[in-house]
């Protein structure tokens, strides 16, 4: 049986309407709701992880006010139901695995009870993130309301229903108009509609008449054009939303990195003050010992000369019998402590005082406090001070080969550059598992002073080199590194308008080259 074109048109229209209604009423809303719920769940989990990280850092630093600040990170969010710190009462700090028993340690808001069973199913999203700190182990329990998500779902469904109803109504009208015409424009319009339904928004119907079919063709063309424009705007909005989210995440990461760097800088400043005070207190008695060694040696020489003169006069005057008792006492004293022993003791005291003076000088140079102005300093002296402080970590195991060039003093913050040298040399020492060598070289190149620190350790892979200066990145075991040393060093070198480069081949060691200008530009 042959189907009439009018029937075909109606079948086509209804088919398009049904397909469009299915996608508009069911598929697209379901996908959008799924996408919103997944994003919301990820957002709550990331917030819980951020709070857990803040609590762990504050607890490790014994900054209990910081724990409250970490929890307040989410208190201003209107979607918050509660955030709680759950303490693992089975945690004993030994690392032994025991069945976890959680108890509520702190809840914000204080008036809310952290009981998820009291909320209707689907009304909240709850995320639990465990953490382990120095004095406490537990989890962060974060609950956010799904009211906003439910409102968004309702809006999506209402919009889908309205759009589907509008499209259905328009399609009925189009069907009536199309059913009155059996012509090529109708077939062309039908074919174009099929292609638009398949997603081709470039389709246009040519109008050959000024009657209803012509008007319909114009309306169809305008509908496709508006749909294409709406699609472009939607894509643009999605792109802007993704860019905004990325910017937000980057900002949060930068804030966390800045916070950690400020904490690290404050620790280094406190350590510098303490070290400077210790060096000052030790320096005074050491100076006293050093200053009195030479006079003591001169006095001992005079005493020995007097004794020799006595011996000579006794022999010349032949008074051996009269001084026999004195001679015996002298021989007994010589037996107890010989002249050579006295010289050895003085030499040992002098060497100890010299070594202690070097350590004190190194402490004073390393711990000097930087103000907000550049000072003249010599990098050879800074490297020597750093090596003095690190001597106990590499002696009898690592040979340091120094090749200091004739370099001028440079404008810098000496204490900060000392921290850079300390970080790099400490990593180099740790990278040499047994015996090895560290090569240190300084030279002048144009208006830049260059410092090279090269080791014969395990080396660095290319993947690690690309991330070695990122905040919180570390290849060390948990608890043995914060991942901030080289990141802070990179920032200090940049602050000096310099450059830090790393060259390494796995198994053949690593080399860090630092370039610092001799003179810094004047600050406006």
- Start-to-end C-alpha separation, the chain: 91
Helices (H), 432-498: 462-467, 485-495
Q: Tell me what percent of the residues of the chain surpass a pLDDT of 90.
A: 9
> Which secondary structure element, helix H or strand E, spans residue 439, and what is its range?
strand 436-445
CB atoms within 10 A of CB 48: 23
Kindly report, residue by residue over 345-385, the tens digit of the pLDDT. Answer: 666 666 566 666 665 665 555 555 445 678 888 999 889 88
Q: Which residues contact 479 (CB under 8 A, 6 or more apart)?
A: none
- CA–CA distance, 222 with 76 (Å, rounded to integer): 46
Which residue would you say has higher pLDDT here, 109 or 407? Answer: 407
- CA–CA dist 524, 233 (Å, integer): 45
Which domains are present in the chain?
Answer: 5-170 (3.30.450), 371-524 (3.30.565.10)
pLDDT number for residue 440: 94
The interaxial angle of helices 212-317 and 184-197, nearest 10 deg, is 20
Find out whether 116 and 124 touch, Cβ atoms under 8 Å.
Answer: yes
Which of 59-73, 276-290, 433-447 has the lowest average pLDDT?
Answer: 276-290
Q: What is the pLDDT of residue 177?
A: 64
The more confident residue out of 204 and 50 is 50
Judged by average pLDDT, the poorest of 267-281, 352-366, 401-415 is 267-281
Q: What's the pLDDT at 12?
A: 76
- Reference 300, options 350, 245, 241; nearest CA is 350
Supply the pLDDT for residue 179: 62
Q: What is the pLDDT of residue 405?
A: 93
Mean pLDDT of 407-427: 87
Task: Burial-class residue 140 by CB neighbours within 10 Å (0-12, 13-18, 19+).
Answer: buried
- Pick the closest to residue 512 from 414, 412, 442, 448 (CA basis): 442
Are the C-beta atoms of residues 12 and 190 closer than 8 Å to each other? yes
Q: What average pLDDT score do residues 116-120 get?
A: 77
Q: Tokens 């099929």: give the residue.
A: 194
d(CA 226, CA 223): 5
Checking if the pLDDT of 429 tops 80, the result is: yes
Tokens in use for 207? 């109008």
Angle between helices 379-394 and 414-431 (to 10 degrees): 40
Closest by Cα among 458, 465, 455, 386 to 423: 386
How far, in Å, CA of 425 to CA of 443, rounded?
Answer: 18
φ, ψ at 321 (rounded to 5°) = -65, -45
Average pLDDT, the chain: 76
| Higher pLDDT, residue 212 or 446 | 446
Judge whether 178 and 16 are in contact, CB under 8 Å.
no
Task: Give 449-506 pLDDT, tens digit per residue.
Answer: 999 999 988 888 887 777 777 766 566 554 455 556 687 888 888 888 999 998 988 8
> Is residue 513 predicted with pLDDT exceeding 70?
yes
The predicted pLDDT at position 410 comes to: 92
**Nearest-angstrom CA–CA distance, 370 and 273:** 11
What's the pLDDT score for residue 481? 52
Distance (Å) of CA 98 to CA 102, 130, 137: 12, 15, 12
Average pLDDT of the residues in 116-136:
81
The tokens describing 16, both together, are: 């398009």
For 92, phi then psi, to 5°, come to -115, 5
Q: Could you write out the DSSP letters of every residue in 378-392? A: -HHHHHHHHHHHHHH
Over residues 435-460, mean pLDDT: 92
Count Cβ atoms below 10 Å from residue 296 Cβ, excluding itself. 14
Question: What confidence category does residue 335 fall into, taking pLDDT thresholds of 50, 70 and 90?
Answer: very low
Whether the predicted pLDDT of 127 surpasses 90: no
- Cα 478-468-251 angle, rounded to 5 deg: 85
Percent of the chain with pLDDT over 70: 70
Confidence of residue 82 (pLDDT cuts 50, 70, 90): confident
- Neighbouring CB atoms inside 10 A of 451's CB total 26
Q: Which of 103-107, 125-129, 316-320, 439-443 has the lowest mean pLDDT?
A: 316-320
Please check the confidence at residue 266 and state whether its pLDDT lies above 50: no
Q: Which of 83, 97, 93, 82 is nearest to 132 (CA)?
A: 93
Between the alpha carbon of residue 209 and those of residues 185, 213, 425, the distances in Å are 9, 7, 85
Q: Choose among 488, 499, 521: nearest CA to 416.
A: 488
Q: What DSSP element (H or E) covers 158?
A: helix 147-179
Q: What is the pLDDT of residue 274?
A: 47
Report the range out of 99-103, 118-122, 339-343, 349-353 with the highest average pLDDT: 118-122
Q: What is the pLDDT of residues 157-199, one digit of tens each?
A: 888 788 777 777 787 777 676 666 555 666 677 777 788 777 7
Name which residue leads in pLDDT, 148 or 2.
Answer: 148
Of 13, 14, 35, 33, which Cα lies nearest the Cα of 25? 33
Query: What DSSP character marks residue 117?
Result: G
Tell me the average pLDDT across 389-399. 84
């Amino acid at each position: 049986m042959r189907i009439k074109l009018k029937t075909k048109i109606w079948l086509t229209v209804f088919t398009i309407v049904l397909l469009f209604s299915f996608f508009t009423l069911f598929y697209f809303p379901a996908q959008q709701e799924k996408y919103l719920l997944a994003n919301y769940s990820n957002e709550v989990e990331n917030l819980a992880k951020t709070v857990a990280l803040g609590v762990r850092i504050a607890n490790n630093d014994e900054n209990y006010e910081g724990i409250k600040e970490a929890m307040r990170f989410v208190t201003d969010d209107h979607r918050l139901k509660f955030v709680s710190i759950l303490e693992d009462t089975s945690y004993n700090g030994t690392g032994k695995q025991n069945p976890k028993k959680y108890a509520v340690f702190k809840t914000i808001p204080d008036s809310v009870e952290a009981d998820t069973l009291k909320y209707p199913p689907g009304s909240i999203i709850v995320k639990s993130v465990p953490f382990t700190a120095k004095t406490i182990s537990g989890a962060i329990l974060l609950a956010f309301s799904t009211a906003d998500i439910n409102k968004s779902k309702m809006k999506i469904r209402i919009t889908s229903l309205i759009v589907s109803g509008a499209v259905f109504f328009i399609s009925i009208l189009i069907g009536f108009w199309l059913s009155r015409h059996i012509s090529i424009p109708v077939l062309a319009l039908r074919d174009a509609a099929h292609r638009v339904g398949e997603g081709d928004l470039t389709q246009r119907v040519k109008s050959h008449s000024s009657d209803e079919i012509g008007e319909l063709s114009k309306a169809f063309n305008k509908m496709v054009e508006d749909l294409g424009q709406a699609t472009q705007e939607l894509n643009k909005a999605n792109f802007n939303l993704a860019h905004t989210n990325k910017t937000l995440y980057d900002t949060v990461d930068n804030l966390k990195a800045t916070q950690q760097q400020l904490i690290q800088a404050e620790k280094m400043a406190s350590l510098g003050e303490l070290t400077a005070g210790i060096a000052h207190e030790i320096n005074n008695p050491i100076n006293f010992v050093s200053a009195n060694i030479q006079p003591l040696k001169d006095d001992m020489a005079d005493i020995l000369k007097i004794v020799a003169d006595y011996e000579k006069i006794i022999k010349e005057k032949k008074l051996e019998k009269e001084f026999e008792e004195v001679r015996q006492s002298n021989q007994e004293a010589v037996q107890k402590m010989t002249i050579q022993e006295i010289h050895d003791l003085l030499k040992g005291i002098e060497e100890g005082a010299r070594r202690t003076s070097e350590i004190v000088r190194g402490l004073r140079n390393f711990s000097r406090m930087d103000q907000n102005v550049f000072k003249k300093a010599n990098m050879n002296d800074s490297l020597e001070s750093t090596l003095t402080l690190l001597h106990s970590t590499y002696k009898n195991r690592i040979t340091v080969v120094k090749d200091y060039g004739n370099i001028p003093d440079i404008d810098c913050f000496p204490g900060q550059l000392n921290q850079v040298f300390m970080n790099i040399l400490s990593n180099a020492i740790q990278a040499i598992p047994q015996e090895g060598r560290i090569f240190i070289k300084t030279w002048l190149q144009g208006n830049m002073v260059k410092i090279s620190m090269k080791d014969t350790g395990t080396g660095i892979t290319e993947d690690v080199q690309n991330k070695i200066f990122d905040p919180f990145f570390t290849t060390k075991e948990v608890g043995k590194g914060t991942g901030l040393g080289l990141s802070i060093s990179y920032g200090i070198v940049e602050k000096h308008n310099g450059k830090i480069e790393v060259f390494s081949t796995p198994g053949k060691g690593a080399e860090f080259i630092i370039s610092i200008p001799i003179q810094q530009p004047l600050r406006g």
